[in-house]
Structure 1
């Protein structure tokens, strides 16, 4: 098995188990909800992408693994069986591997920034910030 697949499945693991715990096998039919938690949503999208590309038998095996992980999220064997299903799917489908890698890289690029209070500012990168009264900024 390629190191790329191993790394991707390891990175996706927390999202997969959170989605399985949150939704069970309904993960395959659940629509995205704006109020849904981000980790479970990403796991749901990953599982749905894999499920839609599997044949009937592959879908049944994936559903069983999700059900087991949902019923026992702290059971490392159940979680490992779910990861194994994802690895199997990625070995068989390089386009799926690319799609999931894109999903996971988008998450790592996401930055959440918040600020509160009078004149508070928040940003990933700030080149100039002025929050005072009667301030003059000179740029050359």
Structure 2
């Protein structure tokens, strides 16, 4: 049985949505989601609003992948499609609503919650393949 939360409802992605998810800057445009990787230093903080910053290293170090939904209620972002499968080890959620990391692509299965306005310095052995971001 799959466990889904109100903040982590899966949506089927269409080819058009997949194309829109390849945006490389966090811009308020017509795309449903925007994401951008960038290098970070130790102790770097996610200074974006209503975004989920995913870090390659624990304690918010290494490369950073920013994800934000520009649609309500939110969207599922495949980390596999963006080359981030198995790379996420810490996260900062600057949105007031929870984000959810999933061990499977397409936001299916039991979620690993990242509560709103919080951070997780070490995901342990959890390796997310997709993420649900609130809009």
Q: TM-score, normalised by structure 1?
A: 0.30
Structure with greater proportional strand content: 2
Q: Which has more radius of gyration?
A: 1
Structure showing greater relative contact order (alpha-carbon pairs closer than 8 Å, 6 or more residues apart): 2
Structure with greater proportional helix content: 1
Q: TM-score, normalised by structure 2?
A: 0.31
